[in-house]
Amino acid sequence: MTGIATIAPGREATPQRLQALEHANRVRLARAKLKRLVAGGQLTAAEVILATPWEASRMPVSELLISQRRWGEERSRRVLISIPIPEKKEIGKLTERQRTVLATKLRDGFR
């Protein structure tokens, strides 16, 4: 599986559809790279939340948290409930206060 979207047979490849596919593929690949960097420790989730790069702006907060090493759904859920932030809230839609509080909790090593 390559992870790259293609047009199904029998569907017309309009320029708009091709542009949408290209954009979706760019976002998917950029997010995968971002999550690999977080998982590998080269970048922290707190840095991503504070900087909000374009590829993370529409990513759910829980997806970023789970990409960290030794973090699962339960740990992610607990930290988000303590703030409170919905799991599916997009990183780009966090308020400045939510960003700061979440980044601080992550830096201080939420257990």
Tens of pLDDT along 49-88?
Answer: 999 999 999 999 999 999 999 999 999 999 999 999 999 9
pLDDT of 14 reads 86
Task: Compute the mean pLDDT over every residue in the chain, rounded to the nearest whole number.
Answer: 90
Percent of the chain topping pLDDT 90:
80
Q: Is the dihedral of CA 86, 96, 38, 44 positive or negative?
A: negative
pLDDT of 101 reads 96
For residue 53, whether the previous peptide bond is cis, meaning omega lies within 30 degrees of 0, is: no
pLDDT of 13 reads 73
- Higher-pLDDT residue of 9 and 54 is 54
36 pLDDT band, cuts 50/70/90, is: very high
Domains of the chain: 15-107 (1.10.8.50)
pTM: 0.81
Q: What is the dihedral of CA 86, 92, 65, 75, to 10 degrees?
A: -20
CA distance 17 to 53: 25
